[in-house]
Structure 1
Amino acid sequence: MSDTGKITGMGAIPHSGGVAFRVWAPHARQVAVVGSFNGWDGNSHPMLAEENGYWYADVTKAKIGDEYKFLLTTEQGTLNRIDPYAREVTSSVGNAIVHDTYFDWEGDDLRLASWNELVIYELHIGTFNDQEKINQPGHFSSVSARLGHLKRLGVNAIQIMPVGEFAGDRSWGYNPSHIFSVEMTYGGPKAFKQLVKRAHQEGIAVILDVVYNHLGPSDLDLWQFDGWSENGRGGIYFYNDERAHTPWGETRPDYGRGEVRQYLRDNAMMWLEEYHLDGLRFDCTQFIRTVNGTDHVLPEGWSLLQWINSEVSHKFPGRILIAEDLMNNRWLTRDVGAGGAGFASQWDAMFVHPIRLAVVTPADEQRSLAAIRDALCYRYNDDAFDRVIYSESHDEVANGLQRVPQEINPSDPKGWHARKRSTLAAAMVFTAPGIPMIFQGQEFLEGGWFRDTVPVDWDQCEEFHGIVRLYRDLVRLRLNRDGFTRGLCGQFTQVTHLNEARKVIAFHRWDKGGAGDDVVVVANFYHEAQDDYVIGFPAQGAWKLRFNSDWQGYNDDFRNHPSTDVRTEPGEKDGLPCHARLSIGPYSVVIFSQ
């Protein structure tokens, strides 16, 4: 409560004596709050004008669960508007609901893993597991039903595509109508909190996509919210000149206006505070920091990112903030104090595109191992884990692209070539430096392309249980669960061997070095096995084979090529002091450690 006796906050604020309401509408002549508590009578509860265009009312008759709207009298007439800060709505074109933010979080004490020990699973609520309701989108509870699978797989974080209320019942989520409200088709705010708590109980963190580069564009009450507009554009929440334009419509928020900056900042903080989320992934930040996605800079967009990230770092230390930026800007993951945007990590196009190309290219001789080497070793700054690496994401398997097995062999996406080369890509994801991420269903060869109307085919989880095991084994090695692959969590990578003619690449991963730490990864991007093949090793002695992607246990028609433990001999090879002879199957990866 402020010194004036008024309740602080925005939107609907329940308190012991009723509900206070506050809204920003600087061009309105009068504002009233109407709802189920006053028979939707615009004369019952007029709001008082405050400074800087804010309006306030305290309604003793209002209570949690009541529906309401703001009634604005403007030069353009009377406007009914949904509260921009509404925590809950009946639908994207319905009414706001006075929301009870209380939730029983007792026992919710998950601590997010350090960046070098994160494994992320990206999913879409509507299609991840919608089998409970035929022809209906999935629900937060249906995701909870599959958390056991994710835990067994070994992932320790799920990244959820946007859940802010959007137009209609089916969407990717990148068309938010009400960014403070949770999509009711998915179950609404309480169900989302239940999913977060349940995930935390299973040791799985929850990261959420947020969309601040544009809003809507449909079912958007923010558009000309208080009747004012310049040039026929969006009004107080948006730019009203050429800066309004984005690839998704002319609805870029006005990052230079204090009230709009506060609105976006408050939204980010809400997800972390009220929903106990472990991190946020910011969609398409290049359209926040620039007008056109390339060189027409928006300084106020950059400073907004810095402000939000600084606030989160201060108030919620240990949470992860991830940027998606197709321009691969190194300053995104530098500290704000050094002039950076302050993100912890960013999606890495410098990894996914070369790796996908390497495995989907039909002819072996056209695969570029130099491109694979560069993808493995790329860094934005001094931290190997300031990038998220993947071979599939929602963007990479839609919009003209398909799932990796489908791209490899459109006529037989479950066949030998598709299985072998898609798992080759997966092995690169889990052995390269960076935060590994997979997309829903990838672990059992989900085919086709991503659509918000087509659910994941969970029957394939059983059909390709061996491939699921392959992913599980890779995750286990990546996280050093057995204590002999610490190097996969380490900062250091050296590509020691690259044979373009025979399509073999080998690299050394380490943290501090030595037994239990040093890891050697060998990948064969050729359709034939390589026998009696000599590569360098960093130390003498026995090196145990920890993983062989050609093992028949992963699929009946894998060739089970006889890769074995090796014993190195003194003698320089590949710039390393020792060497050994090994065998590796076609389109396969083997991993060694001491």
Structure 2
Amino acid sequence: MQWGPQFLGGDRVRFALWAPDKDSVALEIDGRDALPMQRSADGWFTAEAPARTGDRYRFRISDDLAVADPASRAQSGGVHGWSVLSDPFAYEWRMQEWSGRPWTEAVIQEVHPGVLGGFSGVAEHLPQLAQLGVTAIELMPVAAFAGTRGWGYDGVLPYAVHESYGSPDDLKALVDRAHDLGLMVFLDVVYNHFGPEGNYLGAYASSFFDQHSDTPWGSAVAVSREPVKRFFIDNARMWLQEYRLDGLRFDAVHAIADDAFLDAMAQEIREALPGRHVHLVLENEHNDPERLRPGLYDAQWNDDFHNVLHVLLTGESEGYYEAFVENPTEKLARCLSEGFIHQGEEGRGKPSGHLPATRFVSFLQNHDQVGNRALGERLIRLADRDKLRAATALLLLMPQIPLLFMGEESGSRSPFLFFTDFHDELADAVREGRRKEFAKFAAFSDPETRKGIPDPNDQETFDTSVPRPGPDAEEWRAFYSQLIALRHQHIMPRLEETRGMGAEVLGTGAVVARWVMHDGARLILAINLGETGVSFPEEGECLFALGEAGEPGSFTARLSL
């Protein structure tokens, strides 16, 4: 049985809902009498009815509760409202021949659709990204969540695009425009939990959740059960087939805790989409290289890279930076050479040095690392300018796949804050929970100080998070453009199966790392984020340099053919 409405032809549609806890369910189409649905032994309810695109419908599961289709493609009135029938194949694609770009060509920018003005606003943003040399955008989650604004990780209707961002066809138009500019489009999807408001699955399908396993955000999903497994795998296929997205980033898969499900999902996607460049990326705190073997996932977000660079750039040592304070220079060397820093130490991770460098997506900033700060500060407000430029050069010229966060290419000083649109008791709980979260940090140990942490539910918190170019925006854009152009010319053509040759510490905060590339060339990158000068190697031809070689804040990229 398939989740969601199926168009049968002749204006007839089959509706389906898995509701094993219920004996009866009725289909309600706006303006018509309720239609009893037929129950099968395995808990599926189905009904066929005449219906057209745009019709509103929902499921009546009790006298006092009617719910949206959990596989609705669009909503009217939010997650508590009606589902809207949407023909997934009605959109007329302009870029019919697009088949994507190789993973080695990825230079990604993560964007939040809401702060950029919805799907149409993101589309307007694309030409300047293409001009900069970016080759892919990654949308933060667009699945429907409660309220009009939020990060998207509290989604409750994974098949429906968030109403305030636009319609399904608006998202398809964004993808079409991106492909026209040569840009790939990736989407962040959340399969490990549902948000706290608007999730009604527990009212009629309690076995959708694993009652014996929790995540930090609520009950874990029971992906070992076939209907649940199909719900998520079919959702992944929907984004890639109906919306023609080029890839997915799977949020916090360590909270799913089912490697067999992850492997089955990747394998089915690969088999369903031959002939296309489709890229699958994990966020996985387990640092598990097994999921990165050929035929499964292309890469993993490499938090280790960000964490150790953040310590070296800012000197911060609280929270999750604490694990990177001891010997950060050695940790950076290991990260550049082998990918993961944690490879089994403290019970986390496995050896990763055998993997190609492109199995790792690295970043200096993203929604988590900026937005999970109490005040949402970007690195440009926290780090020395010359050292930040050197770290940026390292990010964009090393063989790991680089990810930028919207606004950093224009020197934006705008914070990116945690924002939601909850009300009443839930709003109070989120606000106070957010402030208590930072009580362990020295700067917010005083309850009065914590009152200065922005209220996530305040409209101003969202408005402040819109990225605005900094006063030196053109200088930063030129800097990023130069580095990305060098990556296109010298790094990308050689990236296939590039592997680390080792890295060595040159001094406190200073490292040199080497890689052997596809054509046998050696890439040598040296960086000094310390306070004293060191000697940089001079092997090979210099591709790019910042500052006086070996001095604090300097960087060199050299290529030995």
For the aligned pair, the TM-score class normalised by the smaller chain equals 0.7 to 0.9
Relative to structure 2, which stretch is displaced further, 172-181 or 372-381?
A: 372-381
Contact 1:210 1:281 in 2 (8 A): yes
Distance 2:121 2:240 in 1: 23
| TM-score, scaled to structure 1 | 0.77
How far does the alpha carbon of each residue in 1:161-216 deviate from its partner, in whole angstroms, 9 at most, with x for none?
Answer: 10000011111000111111000100121111111111111111011011011012
Distance 1:189 1:212 in 2: 20
| TM-score, scaled to structure 2 | 0.81
Report the counterpart of residue 484 of structure 2 in structure 1: 475
2:528 to 517, 524, 541: 524
1:422 to 383, 388, 393: 388
Matches within 5 A, 1:290-439: 301-317=258-274, 318-335=277-294, 342-361=296-315, 368-379=328-339, 380=352, 381-400=354-373, 402-408=377-383, 417=384, 419-439=385-405
For 1:218, the aligned partner's letter is E
Distance 1:276 1:485 in 2: 24
SS of the residue corresponding to residue 275 of structure 1 reads coil
Offset at residue 107 of structure 1 (A): 2.1
Contact 1:118 1:156 in 2 (8 A): yes
Distance 1:439 1:22 in 2: 39
Contact 2:512 2:536 in 1 (8 A): no
Distance 1:17 1:254 in 2: 35
Contact 1:12 1:19 in 2 (8 A): yes
Offset at residue 343 of structure 1 (A): 1.6
Distance 1:485 1:261 in 2: 36
Higher helix share: 2
Report the counterpart of residue 68 of structure 1 in structure 2: 57
Report the counterpart of residue 112 of structure 1 in structure 2: 100
SS of the residue corresponding to residue 468 of structure 1 reads helix
Offset at residue 37 of structure 1 (A): 4.4
For 2:474, the aligned partner's letter is H
Contact 1:402 1:449 in 2 (8 A): yes
Report the counterpart of residue 548 of structure 1 in structure 2: 545
SS of the residue corresponding to residue 456 of structure 1 reads coil
Offset at residue 504 of structure 1 (A): 4.0
For 2:545, the aligned partner's letter is N
Report the counterpart of residue 237 of structure 1 in structure 2: 208
Report the counterpart of residue 411 of structure 1 in structure 2: none
Any gaps of 5 or more consecutive residues in structure 2?
A: 318-324, 340-351, 420-461
Offset at residue 366 of structure 1 (A): 9.4
Matches within 5 A, 1:208-247: 208-225=187-204, 235-239=206-210, 241-243=211-213, 245-247=214-216
2:144 to 162, 165, 188: 165
Relative to structure 2, which stretch is displaced further, 13-22 or 386-395?
A: 13-22
Offset at residue 513 of structure 1 (A): 5.3
For 2:98, the aligned partner's letter is L
Is residue 500 from structure 1 mapped to residue 518 from structure 2 by the alignment? no
Contact 2:506 2:512 in 1 (8 A): no
Closer, same or farther: CA 512–262 of 1 in aligned 2, 3 Å: closer
How far does the alpha carbon of each residue in 1:320-368 deviate from its partner, in whole angstroms, 9 at most, with x for none?
Answer: 11110122122221257xxxxx2221011222211221111289x9984
SS of the residue corresponding to residue 416 of structure 2 reads coil
SS of the residue corresponding to residue 478 of structure 2 reads helix
Distance 2:176 2:10 in 1: 27
Offset at residue 225 of structure 1 (A): 2.5
Relative contact order, CA 8 A, sep 6+: which one is greater?
2
SS of the residue corresponding to residue 322 of structure 1 reads strand
Distance 2:215 2:530 in 1: 43
Distance 1:95 1:303 in 2: 35
Matches within 5 A, 1:227-306: 235-239=206-210, 241-243=211-213, 245-250=214-219, 252-289=220-257, 301-306=258-263
Which is greater in Rg? 1
How far does the alpha carbon of each residue in 1:447-489 deviate from its partner, in whole angstroms, 9 at most, with x for none?
Answer: 36422413333332x6321121111111122222xx5885566
Offset at residue 258 of structure 1 (A): 1.2
Contact 2:301 2:362 in 1 (8 A): yes
Distance 1:374 1:335 in 2: 23
SS of the residue corresponding to residue 121 of structure 1 reads strand
How far does the alpha carbon of each residue in 1:241-289 deviate from its partner, in whole angstroms, 9 at most, with x for none?
Answer: 231x221123x22122211111111111111110001111110011011
How far does the alpha carbon of each residue in 1:538-568 deviate from its partner, in whole angstroms, 9 at most, with x for none?
Answer: 5xxxx3x432334xxxxxxxxxx5xxxxxxx
Offset at residue 32 of structure 1 (A): 1.8
SS of the residue corresponding to residue 126 of structure 1 reads coil
SS of the residue corresponding to residue 402 of structure 1 reads coil
Offset at residue 428 of structure 1 (A): 1.8
For 2:254, the aligned partner's letter is Q
Aligned positions, number = 489
Contact 2:514 2:525 in 1 (8 A): yes
Any gaps of 5 or more consecutive residues in structure 1?
A: 1-7, 130-137, 227-234, 290-300, 337-341, 409-416, 551-560, 562-582
Contact 1:528 1:587 in 2 (8 A): no
Is residue 204 from structure 1 mapped to residue 183 from structure 2 by the alignment? yes
Report the counterpart of residue 429 of structure 2 in structure 1: none
Distance 2:55 2:140 in 1: 29
Distance 1:84 1:366 in 2: 47
Distance 1:125 1:534 in 2: 42
- CA-based RMSD of the aligned residues comes to 2.6
Contact 2:398 2:525 in 1 (8 A): no
Distance 2:493 2:266 in 1: 30
How far does the alpha carbon of each residue in 1:115-166 deviate from its partner, in whole angstroms, 9 at most, with x for none?
Answer: 2221111111112x2xxxxxxxx21101111111110111111111100000
For 1:466, the aligned partner's letter is E
Is residue 87 from structure 1 mapped to residue 55 from structure 2 by the alignment? no
Is residue 465 from structure 1 mapped to residue 474 from structure 2 by the alignment? yes
Relative to structure 2, which stretch is displaced further, 489-498 or 172-181?
A: 489-498
How far does the alpha carbon of each residue in 1:367-404 deviate from its partner, in whole angstroms, 9 at most, with x for none?
Answer: 84322211211243432211111111111112236322
Contact 1:486 1:511 in 2 (8 A): no
For 1:107, the aligned partner's letter is M
Distance 1:362 1:219 in 2: 38
Contact 2:536 2:550 in 1 (8 A): no
The share of aligned pairs that are identical, in percent, is: 28
Distance 1:492 1:181 in 2: 40
Offset at residue 496 of structure 1 (A): 6.1
For 1:428, the aligned partner's letter is L
Closer, same or farther: CA 156–374 of 1 in aligned 2, 3 Å: same
